[in-house]
Amino acid sequence: MKIDSHQHFWNYHPAKDAWITDEMKVIQQDFLPADLAPLLRKNNIDGCIAIQADQSEEETHFLLQLAEENDFIKAVVGWIDLRGANLEARLEYFSQFKKLKGFRHIVQGEPQDDFLLREDFCNGIAKLAKYNFTYDLLILPKHLPYAVKFVSRFAKQKFVIDHLAKPDFKQADFADWEKGIKELATFSNVMCKVSGMVTEADWNNWKKADFTYCLDVVTEAFGMDRLLFGSDWPVCLLAGSYEQTGEIVTDYFSKFSKEEQDKIWGANAIKFYHL
């Protein structure tokens, strides 16, 4: 089974989705399952994992409703207030939803670079394993040193890094990113999504070769058992098409065995998110 491990849905609203600036006009509109389904069929992908884009429990319920109505949405990664005083009760409540597999916080948008190390946040993360919830790490290269310390606290928590931790493809300055990503990869409970690359490159002038170095780094660091394909649709439309995001991954991993390719394209996502 082929799985797109990272995509989003939204009913666009200028206030709620203020992160979608005017230079992103192509995604200033609604994106719903009816828009994604034909793309998945065309690219022979059997299912997807819907990831939160808004930090609210309403978002989590919105995605769960879509997943209930559409069989091809195999899982949801929602949002919950991990610093909330009533977190245990909310986790207990959300544990009833079979398709809800984990949570994410938009750490890259926090003003505090060491946000991951906040005591209240860490106290929240410590409660996830009890319910078998995963955690998606949305971070930038500057957050990697803190992420290493953070992950080291939670040996039993399953983590996945979104978008390779967003290396700077525009400047091709990878030294600090490489150091941090290799350190994170030493933790066996951490996986990495091969996703979100084109939007970190020059939107109008990227080429597949721009991504080879970083793909070499994560492939060597994580191995073929801990990498997952994700399209980051519809955000990827800022810099290309759904097909192009897939072609980068297809071309790079074409030198690997079919069994290894099957892991990246679905088996690892199935294992990580308990699909």
DSSP 72: T
pLDDT tens, residue by residue, 36-67: 999 999 999 999 999 999 999 999 999 999 99
Strands, E, within the chain: which ranges? Answer: 3-7, 47-51, 73-78, 100-105, 134-137, 159-161, 190-194, 227-229
Q: What is the number of structural domains in the chain?
A: 1
Taking residue 187's Cβ as centre, other Cβ atoms within 10 Å add up to 16
Q: Residue 59: which domain range?
A: 3-273
User: Is cis: bond before 234, omega within 30 of 0?
Assistant: yes
Mean pLDDT on 261-265? 98
Q: Where residue 136 falls among pLDDT bands split at 50, 70, 90?
A: very high
- At residue 72, the pLDDT reads 98
Q: Are 145 and 122 in contact (CB under 8 A)?
A: no
Looking at the whole model, is its pTM more than 0.95? Answer: yes
pLDDT recorded at residue 30: 98
Tens digit of each residue's pLDDT (9 = 90 or more) over 85-121: 999 999 999 999 999 999 999 999 999 999 999 999 9
pLDDT digits (tens, 9 = 90+) for 171-225: 999 999 999 999 999 999 999 999 999 999 999 999 999 999 999 999 999 999 9
| CATH number (domain holding residue 81) | 3.20.20.140
Query: How far is Cα 3 from Cα 275, in angstroms, rounded to an integer?
Result: 10
**Quick one: pLDDT at residue 262?**
98
The mean pLDDT value of the chain amounts to: 97
Confidence of residue 76 (pLDDT cuts 50, 70, 90): very high
- The closest alpha carbon to 273, from 64, 3, 67, 44, belongs to 3
Rounded mean pLDDT of 12-25? Answer: 93
Q: How many C-beta neighbours within 10 Å does residue 44 have?
A: 9
| pLDDT at residue 236, rounded to an integer | 98
The two structure tokens encoding residue 103: 């949570």
Q: What is the pLDDT of residue 195?
A: 98
DSSP class of 215: H
**pLDDT given at position 261:** 98
Judging by beta carbons within 10 Å of its beta carbon (0-12, 13-18, 19+), is residue 228 exposed, middle or buried? buried
Distance of alpha carbon 34 from alpha carbon 80, whole angstroms? 26
Contact 54, 47 (CB under 8 A): no
Give me the pLDDT at residue 170, please: 94
